[in-house]
Amino acid sequence: MPVNGSRPDTPADGPTGTGPPEGWEAPRERWLSTVVRPAFGPRSVLLEVVARLLIPAILTFSVFLLVSGHDRPGGGFAGGLVASMAYVLRYVAGGRHELAAGLPLRPNTLLAVGMLLACGTAGAPLLVGAPVLDAVQYKFTLPVFGEVKLLSALIFETGVFLIVVGLVLSVVAALGARMEAEEQEAREERAGRRPRGGATAGGGGA
Amino acid sequence: MNVLLAVPLVVPLIGAAVTLLLRAAPRAQRITSTLTLAGVVAAAALLVARTADGDVVASQAGGWAAPLGITLVADPLAALLVLVSSVVLLIVLLYAIGQDVGGLSRAMPQVFHPIYLVLTAGVCLSFIAGDLFNLFVGFEIMLTASYTLITQAPTRARVRASMIYTVVSLTSSILFLTGIALVYALTGTVNMADIAEKLGAAPPELRAVLALLFFVVFGIKAAIVPMHFWLPDSYPVAITRISAIFAALLTKVAVYAIIRTQTLLFARDDISAVMLWVAIATMVVGILGALVQDDVNRVMSFALVSHIGFMIFGLALNTVAGLAGVVVYLVHHIVVQATLFLVNGLMRQYVGHTSLRAIRGLTTVSPALALFFFLPALSLAGLPPMSGFIAKVALFEAGLAAGGWLVYTGIAAGVLTSLLTMMAIFRIWTRAFWGTPLPDMVEAKAQLRRGANLGGLRFMTAMTGVMVGLGLVVAAAAGPLAEFSFVAARDLLDGGAYVQAVLGGGAP
């Protein structure tokens, strides 16, 4: 159709796709399940074993990056990327059901909480008349660690961390998991195993 | 007082996060967005009051001193634009809420609210950024939000339009980044006040090239001829609230960036002849395009392109009077464009489309709609006593005072454009508003009346009325506005206060 044939944005045929994408309500599984359907190709034992071993290590490393980032390489952005890689690995090894089951929160909620933390920390100094993003520093001594320096910027970095994880995961959910679900649906439809099931693949995931 | 500066940036982002959390509770989402924007309007109003005497307010984020840290600056122009933009954003938000409550839109409110607030933050950051890189960040926040918004309620046409829009915007962003890199290579800083001091020592040819590069970068985003082709293809296709905001704000943010970079950073006469030619071309080509369109939204989009030319013309004069005219024109144009697109949206609600071929007798269908179209349309064409007349007179007077054959040509082109705008508007008026309504239009209206959507529709109409009223207020407040615009223009041309506020004061 020509560009100037502008469509009316009028008709009111009910709410569009408010439901969550399939699987977000599934019970949480801390570990990669033993019965998985990988995102690509046949099951790989090696990948599954390595994923089980690596995911906790990757997540721990991401937290290390987050905390050490103030005056060394790292920080919320790098940490968030590393943490989201753990979930991407889980998705690659276990398919979209595992991605949903492994997440503590939906990606959008992660994004929102992260943004709230980051912007809240950025904006909080305004309440006492200090410039935006001003930081406060606490120093104290812990039994094992010795002297510890804690900056309010760490909360900001945590927010950035969560934003990055939320963003990567919503991209994976939208471009990987949802397309995978749609493809599967189309395959089943072609095979004639069931009629098109309506709005299962719709929804406002990302 | 410096606290105020960060409010238009931080508060909408917090609001966006909250509305994202509240995606399951539409009512709470609407209340949050409205309160957020109301807060921004209040902060902006205080900022305008603070800068009304020509003061420049600056704030260094995190207390890091100026050339190194993130600087937020509001001079009179920036404060005024933040105020006008946030008021327009608020009214359009209320219009959109009315549409959603009435169930008249297929947009997804749970996506719309957070991203709309992010767009607000981007627009405000672009106005108050004190360094080139944060100007870039502001643009990117704004554009990334707009990429999502333009495909709300996706249809084939919208996805196609968004492709054009995204590719063009990204191209300009890459050029922008290149420009920043070049400036940094030349001066070793990205802080605009700092650059302003250091660029003076650079070779004039190099400076002219950089000025031209930035003019092209923002020119693409402001849709000046010959970089305008993407705008009439993308804006009209989006849903009403989005095209209204895009038409009102996005191009004007780019015009603001042109003004900021060409006055503060580069010696003003570096490329002013080029700018005059471009202004003349933009005016004439844009309005000639508007005359041959069949869709009201496309007519308005071409008119939008054409009237960007006026602002470039005023800037190219490079006098206080010229810049003051540009400031008035910016305010006038933001309000008028938003109004006209909202009216087109109402037209779409009543008739189902905006094609001139199949609309007759809108005056009979909705007298209020006719009035709401007529007033801003006259203002756009520049008939007295509307704000458009005041803005154009200010520009032409400044042009006559400046003199020169090229400037006179520009004035002639401006007068011609105004007449042709009138012609384009009367073309819409005689085709769409006069005559007896077509049978299917009567049918469509009866159907609308039968539905339970009347409350939402009334609210939308009321908000359009408020926007028309805002246009009248701009005209009525021409005296104070002109005074303020001269203060703003003096600050722009001088640049000393800006540099002083950013580098000199230093106190966070």
pLDDT tens digit sequence for B436-487:
888 877 777 777 777 666 788 889 999 999 999 999 999 999 899 999 999 9
A126/B7 CB distance under 8 A: yes
% chain A with pLDDT above 90 = 21
Res. A197 pLDDT band, cuts 50 70 90: very low
Dump pLDDT digits (tens) for A154-174.
Answer: 888 999 999 999 999 988 888
Asked if B352 is an interface residue toward chain A (Cβ–Cβ < 8 A), one would say yes
Measured between alpha carbons, how far is B264 from B259 in angstroms, rounded to an integer?
8
Residue B464: what pLDDT?
Answer: 93
In what helix (H) or strand (E) does residue B60 lie, and over which residues does it extend? Answer: strand B57-60
- Mean per-residue pLDDT, B291-302: 91
- Phi, psi of A9, deg, nearest 5: -105, 35
Lowest mean pLDDT among A125-134, A194-203, B39-48, B318-327: A194-203
B348/A11 CB distance under 8 A: no
**DSSP 8-class letter at A21:** P
Res. A18 pLDDT band, cuts 50 70 90: very low
Res. A21 pLDDT band, cuts 50 70 90: very low
Lowest mean pLDDT among A72-86, A106-120, B71-85, B265-279: B265-279
Partner A, chain B 358-387, Cβ-Cβ below 8 Å: none
- Looking at residue B136, its amino acid is F
**Residue pointed to by tokens 């004035």:** B411
Q: Is residue A155 part of a domain?
A: yes
**DSSP 8-class letter at B489:** H
Measured between alpha carbons, how far is A25 from B418 in angstroms, rounded to an integer?
59
A115/B14 CB distance under 8 A: yes
Residue B97: what pLDDT?
Answer: 92
Residue B440: what pLDDT?
Answer: 79
Strand partners, A139: A149
Of B108, B111, B297, the CB nearest to A6: B297
List CB contacts (< 8 A) between B160 and chain A.
3
Res. A199 pLDDT band, cuts 50 70 90: very low
Bigger pLDDT: B18 or B403? Answer: B18
Domain residues for the domain of A162 are 45-185
Domain residue ranges in chain B: 3-504
Residue A188: what pLDDT?
Answer: 82
A126/B10 CB distance under 8 A: yes
Residue A132: closest C-alpha in chain B = B61
Measured between alpha carbons, how far is B136 from B126 in angstroms, rounded to an integer?
8
- Mean per-residue pLDDT, B305-311: 94
- Enumerate residues 6+ apart whose C-beta is below 8 A from B480: none
- Mean per-residue pLDDT, A19-33: 60
Residue B117: what pLDDT?
Answer: 96
Q: Is residue A105 part of a domain?
A: yes
Average pLDDT, chain B: 89
HSE (side-chain half, CA atoms, 13 Å) at B143? 25
Lowest mean pLDDT among A18-27, B172-181, B368-377: A18-27
A131/B2 CB distance under 8 A: yes
Lowest mean pLDDT among A133-137, B90-94, B341-345, B432-436: A133-137
Quote the number of domains for chain A.
1
List CB contacts (< 8 A) between A5 and chain B.
157, 295, 353, 355
pTM, to two decimals? 0.89
Does residue A202 surpass a pLDDT of 50? no
How far does the CA of residue B389 sit from the closest CA of chain A (Å)? 30
Residue A14: closest C-alpha in chain B = B103
For the record, the structure tokens of B119 come out as 């767009």
Residue A25: what pLDDT?
Answer: 60
Residue A24: what pLDDT?
Answer: 59
Does residue B64 surpass a pLDDT of 80? no
**Residue pointed to by tokens 């944005």:** A9
Residue A110: closest C-alpha in chain B = B21
Query: Would you say B191 and B131 are in contact if contact means Cβ atoms under 8 Å apart?
Result: yes
Res. B1 pLDDT band, cuts 50 70 90: low
Rounded to 5°, the CA angle B480-B482-B486 comes to 115
Average pLDDT, chain A: 76
Q: Is residue A65 part of a domain?
A: yes
Of A4, A8, A134, the CB nearest to B348: A8
Residue B505: what pLDDT?
Answer: 53
- Crossing angle of helices B367-381 and B454-476, in 10° steps, is 30
Beta carbons within 10 angstroms of residue A155's beta carbon:
18
A126/B17 CB distance under 8 A: no
Rounded to 5°, the CA angle B230-B234-B236 comes to 130
Does residue B2 surpass a pLDDT of 90? no
HSE (side-chain half, CA atoms, 13 Å) at B486? 8
Measured between alpha carbons, how far is B498 from B196 in angstroms, rounded to an integer?
10
- Mean per-residue pLDDT, B341-353: 87
ipTM exceeding the 0.95 mark = no
Lowest mean pLDDT among B156-160, B285-289, B494-498: B494-498
Asked if B23 is an interface residue toward chain A (Cβ–Cβ < 8 A), one would say yes
Bigger pLDDT: B419 or B204? Answer: B419
Length of chain A: 206
Does residue A204 surpass a pLDDT of 50? no
Res. B393 pLDDT band, cuts 50 70 90: very high
Measured between alpha carbons, how far is A163 from A141 in angstroms, rounded to an integer?
31
Asked if B462 is an interface residue toward chain A (Cβ–Cβ < 8 A), one would say no
B110/A204 CB distance under 8 A: yes
| Alpha-helical regions (H) of B230-269 | 231-234, 240-245, 251-260
Of B17, B158, B236, the CB nearest to A115: B17
Residue A63: what pLDDT?
Answer: 92
- Mean per-residue pLDDT, A90-116: 84
- Mean per-residue pLDDT, B56-79: 85
Is the link from the previous residue into B226 a cis peptide, with omega within 30 of 0? yes
How do strand A137-142 and strand A146-151 relate by DSSP bridges? antiparallel
Does residue A16 surpass a pLDDT of 60? no
List CB contacts (< 8 A) between A157 and chain B.
none
Partner A, chain B 158-187, Cβ-Cβ below 8 Å: 158, 160-161
Res. B507 pLDDT band, cuts 50 70 90: very low
How far does the CA of residue B415 sit from the closest CA of chain A (Å)? 29
Lowest mean pLDDT among B57-71, B181-195, B490-504: B57-71
Residue B439: what pLDDT?
Answer: 81
